[in-house]
Amino acid sequence: MQSLSFRVLVFCCFLALATGCERLDITDDEPSKEQREPADDDTPTGDAGYLLVPEALAMGRDANKEVTVAGFIVGYVDGTSMSKAVFGKPKSAANTNMLIAASTKTTDPAECLPVELSTKGENFRRYLNLYDNPGNFHAPIILRGLLTRYFGVAGLKSVVDYQWIWDGSLPDAGSDTPTPPDDSDDDSEVTPDNPPVTPPDDPVVKPDDPPVTPDKPEPAPDDHPDLSHDMPADPYQGR
């Protein structure tokens, strides 16, 4: 009887041990890579993958969002407000900011997005300021940064990346074709109080009206006198 009871006890212990060693399913609170939803990138972009300047301005100065925006470099702010906008190149020092617009012909500060050119990190001021890089004037560019309040209006700060776009994909709102970099030495500045001077139109010559070439005057009769009668006879003639 005691032997039977011992066997039953051993069997029960074995059964309990076998049950306790079964594989346990541990639930991971963090979903697997396959179960994760794709990240919701709420960075605003246009159909081309970036915003145009009017679209960025429409988001307002309190947007506080990272955006990608494209435009043409048209000047900088020489002061602490947009009323000090200069549509030209600085003459004495590197500009700490720049203005981009939808057109190279823009001269209205309200149509411009100011961009901070910081020296921290990548030091974008070194590569983008107009004093050291005058060829950047009117150049088409894409910038990525924080759309927030700058100079009291919507502006781009904390720029993290930029790219030139010379493939013609950015239309100039004021021209039929993109404007190439301006490498000239023209340092004239255009401000709201000093609008650009429009040169007069060149005269047009129509095919039916060819240019008039003045007639070449004929020489006077006395210009070439006949000197044959004054020449002496050939002494060897007739020999």
Is the pLDDT at 176 greater than 70? The verdict is: no
Q: What integer pLDDT is reported at residue 48 of this predicted model?
A: 75
| Long-range CB pairs of 106-109, under 8 A, 24+ apart, other chains included | 106/72, 106/74, 106/174, 107/74, 107/190, 107/192, 107/195, 107/196, 108/192, 109/82, 109/83, 109/85, 109/192
Q: What integer pLDDT is reported at residue 29 of this predicted model?
A: 41
Domains and CATH numbers, the chain: 51-164 (2.40.50.200)
Rounded Cα–Cα distance for residues 197 and 122 (Å):
38
* Amino acid in position 103: S
Smallest Cα–Cα separation from 184: which of 69, 56, 89, 44? Answer: 89
Query: CA torsion, points 114, 120, 124, 129, in degrees to nearest 10?
Result: 60
Structure-block tokens of residue 51: 């915003």
Look at 138 and 194; give whichever has higher pLDDT. 138
Q: What is the pLDDT of residues 79-130, one digit of tens each?
A: 999 999 999 999 999 999 999 999 999 999 999 999 999 998 889 999 999 9
Q: What is the pLDDT of residues 214-233, one digit of tens each?
A: 555 555 555 544 544 444 45
CB 195 within 8 A of CB 204: no
Smallest Cα–Cα separation from 194: which of 94, 93, 87? Answer: 87
Q: What is the pLDDT of residues 32-84, one digit of tens each?
A: 333 333 334 555 566 679 999 999 999 999 999 999 999 999 999 999 999 99
Q: What is the pLDDT of residues 10-33, one digit of tens each?
A: 665 555 555 554 443 433 343 333
User: Which of 159-163, 171-175, 179-183 is predicted most confidently?
Assistant: 159-163
Q: What integer pLDDT is reported at residue 18 of this predicted model?
A: 53
- pTM > 0.85: no
Percent of the chain with pLDDT over 90: 49
Smallest Cα–Cα separation from 136: which of 83, 100, 84? Answer: 100
Rounded Cα–Cα distance for residues 178 and 157 (Å):
26
